[in-house]
Amino acid sequence: MSRSYFHLHLVSDSTGETLINVGRAAAAQYEGVSAIEHVYPLVRSGSQLERVISEIKAAPGLVLYTLVGGDLGERLESACRESGSPCLSVLQPVHALLQSYLGAPVAARPGAQHMLNAEYFKRIDAMNFTLAHDDGNLPHDLEEADVILLGVSRTSKTPTSIYLANRGLKTTNLPLVPGVPLPPELERAKRPLIVGLFASPERIVQIRQNRILSLQADESTTYVDRVAVADEITASRRLFTRNRWPTIDVTRRSIEETAAAILDLYRDHRLKFIAT
């Protein structure tokens, strides 16, 4: 099926992360259509906005923006009407609802969600912990983790760990390698949520083959042997069942979907842990 393309201009007075996520989530619902993204972060002055407007005029398309200070939003919308580019303030409907419910005016602080508050430093601390404990490193302090991920090689343990760390959870991951025992600290860990990740043998073999090709390594290894991989996965699932650890099949899940499932499990786990 042939694809069609459109220009998507994302104008923000902050990092642009909100717009990127909203734009991609919406565009993903349309098959055969792809967005050519133009991201303009930290637009906070008239001169910066004029440069953005000139680029929109050069490549007309859909414009999404989050400009909360001054008259920059009005100036952008006026320019978009002149160029025939549909324009939408992503946050305005949300602000209107909140203002109606709270009965309070909008403070109009660009980048307010990125202020250096306690939550911000919690995420930084979680990220430092997670990076230091990647792939089985520093197993002696597993009890300090919020989440422990286990799985055979190529079950997306590291990227999932990093995603969870960005949500403020200290995460460590342990690889399940045939013949290599797990650290004894794992049996004593009570505070962390322990989750087993697995995928279909076909999916694991495919990812491992791509990995070997990228490294230009020898392909004649049990690492990509279909039977050996199936045995690894079977052994891992038996381990999870024996210890009553919750499991997630990551075969067709994105990192975000896997992390969302883990966050849901973590909320229940914390409630039970606090209750005891």
Whether 98 and 136 have beta carbons less than 8 Å apart is answered as no
Report whether 152 belongs to an annotated binding site. Answer: yes
Closest residue by Cα to residue 229 from 205, 248, 250:
205
Report whether 151 belongs to an annotated binding site. Answer: yes
Closest residue by Cα to residue 58 from 38, 78, 77, 75:
38
Closest residue by Cα to residue 70 from 47, 86, 37, 40:
47
Report whether 154 belongs to an annotated binding site. Answer: yes
Whether 11 and 43 have beta carbons less than 8 Å apart is answered as yes
Closest residue by Cα to residue 197 from 148, 270, 256, 268:
148
| Burial status of residue 154 (CB atoms within 10 A of its CB: 0-12, 13-18, 19 or more) | buried
Backbone Cα Rg of the chain: 24
CA distances from 145 to 1, 135, 209 (A): 46, 14, 32
Question: What residues are designated binding site?
Answer: 151-158
Cite the annotated binding site for ADP by residue number.
Answer: 151-158
